[in-house]
Amino acid sequence: MDGIHDLGGKQGFGRVRYAPEAPVFHADWEKRANALYALAVRHGLFNMDEYRHAIERMEPRHYLAAGYYERSLTGLATLCVEKGVVTREELERLSGGTFPLAEPLGPGRGNAPDRTRFAPGDRVRVKDDYVPGHVRMPAYIRGKTGVVVAETPAYPFPDAHAHRVKATDEPTYDVRFRAEDLWPNSADPADVHAGVFQSYLEPG
């Protein structure tokens, strides 16, 4: 889905603020939220793709205004409600007010039926797909051409895994793109690498 979360490669946001000595947590509730979502994944309540997509489904203004752990807590709470662990009314009673949740889950999709196996050195093109549900293809590489550098072991296809849709595990390919091809007339010469699932690629 083309949501507010997909900010990779977007312009106009200024420099990324980076503080090497910044603490991981700024408050005790952040530690608890982080521990709860990790515990839920470990016990199989939901998988990482479901968790990522729950955050992607946040209302855009809420997403932009929320910090990292508030987004994590919103995704966790949304999935707990959807899976019947707790109700929204219970959350609001415990919190003493409105408890915002993510938007409803939409449809997912299975693997591409015509997947191609690639090898290092192959030229590939990222499909120009627009997906309503979860997708692990950053928008800035959509429709772009690059070169395969390596292949990773197979992993659950995220477009299906986030929606509990049956699918075959598939590899990702480390694809090298030229920055000048990704952002014509707006980038210095450089190589950009992205891990791209097999279903997102076609021969280039």
Q: Do 166 and 128 share a domain, yes or no? A: yes
Cβ atoms of 181 and 191 closer than 8 Å? no
pLDDT at 1: 79
State pLDDT tens for residues 150-181. 999 999 999 999 999 999 999 999 999 999 99
C-alpha atoms less than 13 angstroms from C-alpha of 112 in its C-beta half-sphere: 17
CATH code for the domain in which residue 4 is found: 1.10.472.20
State pLDDT tens for residues 134-147. 999 999 999 999 99
In which region does residue 44 sit, left (phi positive, over 0), alpha (psi from -120 to 50) or beta (all else)? left
| SS3 of residue 170 by DSSP | strand
Closest CA to 155 of 39, 47, 23: 47
User: What single DSSP character describes residue 54?
Assistant: H
CATH code for the domain in which residue 131 is found: 2.30.30.50
The CA angle 177-179-182, to the nearest 5 degrees, is 80
The total domain count for the chain is 2
Q: Do 91 and 162 share a domain, yes or no? A: no
pLDDT at 12: 85
Q: What does each of the 204 residues of the chain score in pLDDT, given as a tens digit?
A: 788 899 888 888 888 888 999 999 999 999 999 999 999 999 999 999 999 999 999 999 999 999 999 999 999 999 999 999 999 999 999 999 999 999 999 999 999 999 999 999 999 999 999 988 999 999 999 999 999 999 999 999 999 999 999 999 999 999 999 999 999 988 899 999 999 999 999 999
> pTM value?
0.92
User: What single DSSP character describes residue 200?
Assistant: G
Closest CA to 57 of 129, 131, 134: 134
Closest CA to 10 of 117, 195, 128, 140: 140
* Cross-strand bridge partners of residue 197: 172
Residue 19 lies in a domain: yes
Q: Do 17 and 64 share a domain, yes or no? A: yes
Domain end point (choices 46, 79, 105): 105
H helices present in the chain, as ranges: 28-42, 48-56, 60-65, 68-82, 88-95, 158-161, 179-182
pLDDT at 13: 83
Expressed as residue numbers, the domain containing 49 is 1-105
Q: State how far the Cα of 44 lies from the Cα of 183, in Å rounded to an integer.
A: 40
Sheet holding 172-178, edge to edge: 191-197, 172-178, 145-151, 123-126, 201-203
- Residues whose CB falls within 8 Å of the CB of residue 136, separated by 6 or more in sequence, listed in order: 49, 158, 159, 197
Residue 46 lies in a domain: yes
Q: State how far the Cα of 67 lies from the Cα of 78, in Å rounded to an integer.
A: 17
Instruction: Determine the length of the chain.
Output: 204
Residue 112 lies in a domain: no
Q: Do 44 and 95 share a domain, yes or no? A: yes
Q: Do 30 and 62 share a domain, yes or no? A: yes
Q: Do 1 and 99 share a domain, yes or no? A: yes
